[in-house]
């Protein structure tokens, strides 16, 4: 079973060892960088993806991220740095994690009306994954990333 849990002392060390494949790291970073960065950031919440209680992926939620401006006037939460560990990809974990996302976000951020994210044009696997999870393309283009333009996708809660 796949679920989401705020990173705590019980899983932190294992989460730090998680990473996507090296060629994918440009899309999400690796937990050795993104987990400490989330912890330093006072509006960012570090979240572990667990399968059968074992950490297998990572994401961060941020209700004050600059990309939240794309949903104004609706309050949103940004999804950042999402990846599944290279060793367990293509087993349905990301799909299951995104299925668990709305209930998790609503519990943590009851004011949020949607989840917003940006995804690189050159990352079609992730674009397809998000669309199948219910994210809708806003048609806007985000140009802030280091690896080319990004779609802005929104999941209504």
Ligand X SMILES: CC(C)(COP(=O)(O)OP(=O)(O)OC[C@H]1O[C@@H](n2cnc3c(N)ncnc32)[C@H](O)[C@@H]1OP(=O)(O)O)[C@@H](O)C(=O)NCCC(=O)NCCS
Contact between 83 and ligand X per CB under 6 A: yes
Q: Binder to ligand X among 36, 53, 91, 136 (CB under 6 A)?
A: 91
Stretch that binds ligand X, among 40-48, 92-100, 106-114, 133-141 (CB under 6 A): 92-100
Q: What is the DSSP string of 84-130?
A: E-GGGTTSSHHHHHHHHHHHHHHHH-TT--EEEEEEETT-HHHHHHH
Residue 99 CA to residue 123 CA, distance in Å, equals 20
The answer to the question of residue 27 lying near ligand X (CB under 6 A) is: yes
Closest distance between ligand X and the C-beta of residue 129, in Å? 5
Q: Which of 126, 133, 152, 155 is the binder for ligand X (CB under 6 A)?
A: 126
Residues forming contacts to ligand X in the complex (CB under 6 A) are: 20, 24, 27-28, 82-84, 89-95, 117, 119, 123, 125-126, 129
């Amino acid at each position: 079973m796949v679920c989401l849990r705020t990173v705590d002392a019980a899983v932190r060390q294992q989460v730090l060892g998680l990473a996507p494949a090296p060629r994918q790291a440009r899309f999400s970073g690796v937990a050795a960088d993104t987990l400490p960065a989330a912890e330093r950031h006072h509006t960012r919440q570090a979240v572990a993806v667990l399968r059968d209680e074992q950490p297998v992926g990572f994401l961060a939620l941020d209700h004050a991220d600059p990309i939240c401006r794309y949903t104004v006037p609706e309050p949103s939460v940004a999804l950042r740095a999402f990846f599944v560990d290279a060793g367990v990809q293509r087993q349905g974990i990301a799909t299951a994690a995104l299925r668990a996302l709305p209930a998790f976000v609503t519990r943590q951020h009851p004011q949020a009306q949607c989840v917003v994210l940006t995804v690189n044009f050159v990352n079609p696997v992730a674009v397809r994954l998000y669309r199948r999870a219910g994210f809708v393309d806003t048609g806007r283009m985000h140009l802030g990333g280091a690896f080319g333009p990004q779609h802005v996708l929104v999941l209504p809660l």
